[in-house]
């Protein structure tokens, strides 16, 4: 069952606390922001290949989607779960780049290459019924728990005729990076 999420360009009530709002609305690279707040930053590649897009409005497109899922970890602790999708209908630079990215940060590509154009950042709250929430929970070490709701954001990055969609779910440990 696919739930309809309400993705919004403005934060709906009840809005998150100011410290989390600054992460949700960060216009730059989350990778760079995390790196500046911890001693050891790591991208843990969880999965990459053809898979359902957990964020798509139209599930039928999932058959032609390349999905990449990673955990962004600071000092060994997961702080962000990222679900990235790219249509595989048309082949292009993004397909090749994403296929070779491995455990490197996608942000290092998106914010370093001058041809990318970023769309609006949209946010939503996820709960246990949402497949994206469940994917984030499944990515964590066994026995981990999550609060009843998590905040997430998404945006698209276009290059030429291709577009990559990036969805980031903020895990509770992100609070330790505040300050």
pTM for the structure as a whole: 0.87
Helix (H) or strand (E) run with residue 125 in it = strand 122-127
- Nearest in space to 75 (alpha carbons), one of 35, 102, 105, 46: 35
CA gap 131, 164 in Å, rounded: 20
Contacts of 87 (CB under 8 A, 6+ apart): 61, 64, 65, 66, 162, 163
Lowest-confidence pick of 1-10, 18-27, 89-98, 110-119: 1-10
Q: Read off the CATH number of the domain in which 53 is found.
A: 3.40.1410.10
Residue 68's domain comprises 18-177
In-domain check, residue 121: yes
Cα–Cα separations (whole angstroms), residue 64 to 10, 87, 157: 30, 6, 18
Q: Are 160 and 29 in contact (CB under 8 A)?
A: no
Grade residue 57 by pLDDT with cuts at 50, 70 and 90.
low
Domains held by the chain: number: 1
Does 60 score more than 60 pLDDT? no
Q: Which neighbouring-strand residues pair with 102? A: none
> Is residue 13 in some structural domain?
no
Nearest to 160, CA basis, from 91, 83, 82: 91
In a domain, 1, yes or no: no
The answer as to whether 9 is a domain residue is no
In whole angstroms, give the CA distance from residue 40 to residue 119.
30
Q: How far apart are CA 156 and CA 15, in angstroms?
A: 23
Q: What is the DSSP secondary structure assignment for residue 175, as one 8-state letter? A: G
For residue 12, being part of any structural domain is answered with no
The band of 12, judged by pLDDT with boundaries at 50, 70 and 90, is low
Residue 63 domain-assigned (yes or no): yes
Share of the chain above pLDDT 70, in %: 88
């Amino acid at each position: 069952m696919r739930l309809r999420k309400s993705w919004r360009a403005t934060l709906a009530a009840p809005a998150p606390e100011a410290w989390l709002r600054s992460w949700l609305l960060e216009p730059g690279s989350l990778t760079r922001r995390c790196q500046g707040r911890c001693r050891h930053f790591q991208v843990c590649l969880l999965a990459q290949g053809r898979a359902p897009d957990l964020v798509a409005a139209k599930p039928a497109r999932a058959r032609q989607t390349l999905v990449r899922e990673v955990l962004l970890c600071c000092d060994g602790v997961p702080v962000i779960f990222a679900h990235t999708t790219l249509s595989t209908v048309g082949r292009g630079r993004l397909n090749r780049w994403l296929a070779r990215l491995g455990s490197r940060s996608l942000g290092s590509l998106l914010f370093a290459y001058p041809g990318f154009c970023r769309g609006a950042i949209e946010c939503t709250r996820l709960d246990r019924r949402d497949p994206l929430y469940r994917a984030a929970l499944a990515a964590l070490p066994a026995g981990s728990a999550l609060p009843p709701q998590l905040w997430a954001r998404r945006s698209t990055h276009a290059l030429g005729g291709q577009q990559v969609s990036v969805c980031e779910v903020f895990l509770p440990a992100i609070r330790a990076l505040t300050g």
